[in-house]
Each structure stands twice: as structure tokens, then as C-alpha cells.
Amino acid sequence: MTEPPLTSSGLAKVGDATLPDRDRASQRSWQRFRRNRPALWSLWLLLFVALGVVAWPIILKIAAVMGPAGADFTQRFQPDRVSDAQFQSPSFAHWFGTDVHGRDLLSRVLYGAQVSLLVGCVAAILSLLIGVVWGAVAGYAGGKTDGLLMRIVDILYSLPSIIFVIVLITTFEGILRRGLARLGAQDLDVSGRLLLLVVGLGAVSWLTMARIVRGQVLSLRQRAFVQASRALGAGPIRVLARHIIPNTLGIVIVYLALTIPAVILYESFLSYLGLGIQPPMASLGSLIAEGADQINPIRTYWWLIAFPSAFLVITLLALNFLSDGLRDAWDVRGEN
């Protein structure tokens, strides 16, 4: 379905006299969003996936205490349970098949998705918080500030991220382990490694966002409505918050939707090198990295690569259509 481009007459906003208009604008945005069917389907899909991913461990725990049939169910689907049922193709017993250790793949994909989505979300949030503000400030301020901020981005971008990740993990792993040991919570050690990985990945993902936002802001700050706002005496923070950043929202949303797969794939690359998630834990990235070996002309256990990849692709597709929908619905196009 087509939407005519929004004209300036409907939602013109100048300065601060917008409160009543804003409420109605929000409602209209929400209505627009609901009419975008792929975006709506994507939202439902993502909610369903999130629910499944979060609920699956709980289901397993509940089933374990529900009699022998339940215990058997839990046993079969435990992601860590090594068994003799190696490399079984998808069947009723194991919907996604099993891997080299006889572990159920469906369970591993769901547990892995938890990790990957966590990694992606943290990276996205860091990107958003640090990257957008950094880029906007640099682009708006211009001159020496812009130079300084962007040169810092250049420096950080040039540093070898693999070594940075190695140093981060090894430096803090020892400290974390000893700290946890003193607290007696040694089982959390594995999560500690995951946390470090997440922080490390997030730390490198805001750089390009900053650059893109800065480019956009450079273009925006000379625009009429910005000049007008400044002429009316609005301070820089107000201009940034009210006019500049909302106008970059489109590109930010789209780039966020690109950052999440980028980070998940980078984690996958780290697993490919042996630096990522610790076995026996898995992430979608590590499952894909291991499954990639199945693409060869001799023999393919197709489920080991197909299901993790399909899960990732479908989730990210939904994310992208959702982001498109959000962007279209909340686009402050009227502010011209």
C-alpha cells in the first residue's frame, strides 16, 4: 500500500508551541504503524520469538517436576546433555535434529538466541546512547569540537579490535574469576565471560553510528528550521534535542537495525576464531560458525547450518521490517 509523502501543512512545528498537536500526532503515528502490515507481522513475530526464547528454559524447568514423562521431555531437550544420538536428522524426537554430541539442536538454538539477542541489544543500546549523541554533538558544534571528536573516533576505529577483545577478556577474566570465587558464586563465571564479550562488542559498535549521524547533522544544521529555531533564541541543547536528533531518527533506526546483525556476525566471527562464547554454551553466532563446516561437497548434515541461520535471518528480517515501520510511522517529516 502507498502512503503519499507527508506535506508540510499537516504537522508543521516551529519552536515550542506543540503540546496538543503532539498527542494527536502520536496517535496518528500509531495508526500509521498499524496499517503497515509487514511491520505489524514483524512485531508479532519478534514478540513470539522473544517469548519463546525466554519461556523455553522455564518450560523445561516446569516439565522436569511434572512426573516421569515431563522429566523425560526435559532430559531430551536439555541443551547441555551429551548423548549417544549423534547427528540425527530432524525427527519427532528432536525437531531440529542433534549435533555431534547428541545434543538437541532446537534447545541449543533457543538458548543461543538468548545470548545473541542479548549481545545485539546491548550493542544497539550502546550505539544509540554513545554513538548518536557523539555524532550529533560533533556535527552540530563543528570546528574544533567536531575535529577532536571525530579524530577520537578515527583513532579508536584504527585500533585492532580483535586484540582489544583478547586483552579485555583476558585482563578482566582473571579479576572477575577471583572476585566471584571470593563471593562463592563460581557458577556465574561463565556469565562473566559472556558479560565481558558483550561489553567488548558494544564498545566497538558505536563508532560508525557516530560517523553517520555526524554526516547527517552537518547537513541538517544549515537547514531553515534549525536556523529559525536558533534565531528564536533556542540554546544548542534544545536545538539538538528538539530538532536535530529527531530528524536523524530515521537513519538511526535503520542503522540500529544494521548494527544488531553486524554485532551478531562479529561474535560469530570471534567464535570462528575460537574467541567467542565458551563451550558448552552456544550463541546463534557460534552455532552458525560451527555449522559452516557442513557446507562441503562430501557430506552435509544440513540441519546444523540451516536451522540456526534460518532463525537468525527470520528474526533479523522481522527486525528490519519493524524498524522500517517505526521509521515510517514516527517520521517527523513535517518538520521542514
Partner 1 sequence: MYFLRRLFLLVPLLLVISFLSFVLVRVAPGGPFDRERKPASSEIERQIKAKYHLDEPVWKQYARFLADLARGDFGISLQYRNHTVNDIIAQALPVSASLGLLAFGFAMGVGLPLGYLTAARRGHYQDYLGSFVAVLMVCVPGFVVAPLLIMYLGIKWRLFPVALWVSPMHAVLPVIALGLYFAGRVARLMREGMLNVMPSEFIMAARAKGLSENALLLKHALPLAILPVVSYSGPLLADLLTGSFVIETIFQIPGVGAFFVNGSLNRDYTLVVGLVILYAVLLIVLNLLVDLIYVLLDPRVKYD
Partner 2 sequence: MLFWCALWVVMLLAGCRREPRADLVIANGNEPESLDPAIVTAVPDMRITKALFEGLARLDGKSGRPTPGLAERWELSPDGRVYTFFLRTNAAWSTGAPITSADVLYSWLRALSPQTASDYAGQLFYIHNAEAFYNGKLKTPSEVGLRALDPRTFQVELDYPLAFFLDLCCYPTLAVVPRRIIEQFGDRWVTHLPLPCSGPYELVDWRLNDKIRLHKNPYYWDAANTRSSLVDLLPTASPNTALNLYETGIADVVWDKDLVPVELMDALMKRPDYHNFDFLGTFFYRFNVTRKPLDDPRVRQAFALATDKQRIVKKLTFGGEKVAAHFVPDGVANYQSPEGPGFDPNLARQLLAQAGFPGGQGFPHLQYMFFSAAGGGAKIQGKIAVELQQMWRKELGVEIQLRQIERKVFYSSQSRLDYDLSASSWVGDYNDANTFLDMFAANSGNNRTGWANAHYDALILEANQQTDLRRRAELFRQAETILVAQQMPIVPIYFYAGFMYFNDLKIKGIYPNLLDEHPIQDIWKVKPGAETPGASTGAIAFISAVVLKRFQ
Choose from partner 1, partner 2, none: what does 155 bind? Cβ within 5-8 Å by kind: partner 1
Among 6, 133, 275, 306, binds partner 2 (CB under 8 A): 275
Total of chain residues touching partner 2, rule CB under 8 A = 30
Choose from partner 1, partner 2, none: what does 38 bind? Cβ within 5-8 Å by kind: partner 1
Q: Which distant-in-sequence residues (6+ apart) come within 8 Å of 316 by Cβ? A: 257, 260, 261, 264
Choose from partner 1, partner 2, none: what does 189 bind? Cβ within 5-8 Å by kind: partner 2
Using the rule CB under 8 A, is 231 a contact of partner 1? no
Q: Considering all CA atoms of the chain, what is the largest pairwise distance in Å, rounded to the nearest integer? A: 75
What binding mask, one character per residue, do residues 54-93 give for partner 2 by CB under 8 A, x or -?
Answer: ----------------------------x-x-x-------
Amino acid in position 206: W
Q: Which distant-in-sequence residues (6+ apart) come within 8 Å of 323 by Cβ? A: 253, 254, 256, 257
40 vs 48: CA distance, rounded Å = 12
Amino acid in position 197: L
Here the cell at position 106 is 532446537
Using the rule CB under 8 A, is 279 a contact of partner 2? yes
297 vs 288: CA distance, rounded Å = 18
94 vs 67: CA distance, rounded Å = 20
| Residue 112 Cβ vs partner 2, minimum distance, rounded to whole Å | 14
Among 55, 93, 125, 313, binds partner 1 (CB under 8 A): 313
Using the rule CB under 8 A, is 147 a contact of partner 2? no
**Cell match 567536531: residue?**
146
Q: Residues 315, 113: contact at Cβ < 8 Å?
A: yes
Q: Residues 70, 63: contact at Cβ < 8 Å?
A: yes
Determine the interface stretch with partner 1 among 13-21, 113-121, 191-199, 286-294 (rule: CB under 8 A): 286-294
Choose from partner 1, partner 2, none: what does 180 bind? Cβ within 5-8 Å by kind: none
Using the rule CB under 8 A, is 280 a contact of partner 2? yes
Neighbours of 14 (CB within 10 A): 12
Q: Which distant-in-sequence residues (6+ apart) come within 8 Å of 137 by Cβ? A: 145, 149, 240
CA-angle at 192, arms to 190 and 196, nearest 5°: 120
Residues near partner 2, by CB under 8 A:
82, 84, 86, 100-101, 166, 170, 186-187, 189-190, 271-275, 278-280, 286, 289-290, 292-294, 296-299, 301
Residues near partner 1, by CB under 8 A:
1-3, 5-8, 38, 142-143, 146-147, 150-151, 154-155, 157-160, 162-164, 166-167, 170-171, 207-208, 211-212, 214-216, 218-219, 222-223, 250-251, 254-255, 257-258, 261-262, 265, 268-269, 272-273, 288-289, 292, 295-297, 305, 309, 312-313, 316-317, 320-321, 324, 327, 331, 333, 336
